[in-house]
Amino acid sequence: MSVSVRIPTILRSYTGGVAEVTGEGGTLREVLQKLDADFPGIGGRILDESGKIRRFVNVYVEEEDVRFSGGLDTSTPDGAKISVIPAVAGG
């Protein structure tokens, strides 16, 4: 299944500055594995050492926060839009 993955500015160094890339996979886990294969190192910025989504990274499939749905097993239907949004702190 082909999906679109929106890459935040802070991670675009991994994608050569590209803001949106095409991904493949039936689940978010598969999409992120393929994304890391295509853009080495980006997976480590999204997932922690235990393979879970990092605490300060939010991932959405369409408009749904995957933390409140299936997590990495969330279905990614053909044409879905995935957004990776790192938390930003400031004062």
Q: How far apart, in whole angstroms, are the C-alpha atoms of residue 58 and residue 49?
A: 17
* Every domain of the chain and the residues it spans: 2-86
Q: Which one-letter DSSP state was computed for residue 79?
A: T
pLDDT in tens, 12-53: 999 999 999 999 999 999 999 999 999 999 999 999 999 999
Q: Within 10 A of 55 (CB to CB), how many other CB atoms are there?
A: 8
Q: Domain 2-86, what fold?
A: Ubiquitin-like (UB roll) (3.10.20)
pLDDT in tens, 32-41: 999 999 999 9
